[in-house]
Amino acid sequence: MLLAFLLPLILLVSSLQSVHAAEPNYAREERMAAEIVDLLFEGEPVELVAQGRNFLTIFTEAEEPKGTVVLLHGRGYHPDWENVVSPLRVGLVEQGWNTLSIQLPVLEKSAKYFDYVDLFDLAGPRIETALEFAHQQDAGKVVLLAHSCGSHMAQRWIKNFTDAAVTQFDAYVGIGMGATDYKQPMVEPFQLDKMPMPILDLYGAEDFPAVLRKAPERLAMMQQAGHVLSAQVVIPKADHYYKGKGQAQLMVNAVAEWLDKL
């Protein structure tokens, strides 16, 4: 009798916890946005709107753009994050590409991969809005580039809306795809085999174990999709964040060289 009484309460608490877990930390996002805008030296802050909520992006224009690259940062970071995102945001402009780096939903700093899974669906509308902005620039090809957790969010969006999603960008760059936390395996597969456009799978030789372990799987999926320009590239000695001397520049160069083949 007591169990029958308590069970609905237990389920209610569990449900409330789940809802709470899926709620982004908008206050943290706003704090990061304020800090970024105050310190921004290159590029222009642009507020876009998705699902009735403003979110920060940074648009940086090339003099004679070959196209626009939409950048998705890693877990819990921001559009001008010093590792990976900022070097790409500025470096690709120097190589002739506009960049639009966007803010993805975030949680508290201690949140892990499993915590973020509940946020993946919330990233989709932001990705779509950013790609629409990129197309409005009338500057050639539109490329979606995602690092780490950003790639999980992009892959979820593609999984949910495959037919519509794959028409919204001309090429895809995934950096450090498949990164998770210890004893937290990926909850769903990559969608690379369902993506008809050119794909670049870029990772470091000293990347996270899950990224390295799943490299053959990603390559097989790209081969199944069958685009002749798809490639898998490994940056020697690089870790997941390209923090070592010269590694960020090697990353930028590898992406730029591949983009020039499109």
Residues 207-226 have pLDDT tens digits of 999 999 999 999 999 999 99
pLDDT band at 138 (very low <50, low <70, confident <90, very high): confident
- Residue 10: pLDDT above 50? no
Per-residue model confidence as pLDDT tens digits over 164-213: 999 999 999 999 999 999 999 999 999 999 999 999 999 999 999 999 99
pLDDT score of 147: 99
Lowest model confidence (mean pLDDT) among 2-6, 31-35, 74-78, 123-127: 2-6
3-state secondary structure of 96: coil
pLDDT at residue 161 greater than cutoff 60: yes
Mean per-residue pLDDT of the chain: 92
Q: pLDDT value at position 257?
A: 99
Read off the pLDDT of residues 92-131 as tens digits, 9 standing for 90 and up: 999 999 999 999 999 999 999 999 999 999 999 999 999 9
Q: Supply the pLDDT for residue 204.
A: 98
The residue ranges of every structural domain in the chain are: 25-259
Is pLDDT at 20 greater than 50 in this prediction? no
Question: What integer pLDDT is reported at residue 5 of this predicted model?
Answer: 41
| pLDDT of 261 above 80 | yes
Look at the pTM and tell me if it is higher than 0.85: yes
156 near 189, Cβ under 8 Å? no
* pLDDT, average across residues 17-26: 66
Exposure string over 165-181, b if 16+ CB within 10 A, otherwise e: beebbebbbbbbbbbbe
24 close to 107: Cβ distance less than 8 angstroms: yes
Residue 65 has φ and ψ, to the nearest 5°, of: -65, 140
Residue 54 binned pLDDT confidence (cut-offs 50, 70, 90)? very high
25-259: CATH topology: Rossmann fold (3.40.50)
pLDDT higher than 70, residue 7: no
231-235: strand order across its sheet:
44-50, 53-60, 98-102, 67-72, 141-147, 171-175, 199-204, 231-235
Residue 9's pLDDT band (boundaries 50, 70, 90)?
very low
Decide if pLDDT at 6 tops 70. no
**CA-CA distance, 222 to 195, in Å (whole number)?**
8
User: Which pLDDT belongs to residue 139?
Assistant: 78
pLDDT at 13 over 50: no
Q: What is the pLDDT of residue 4?
A: 47
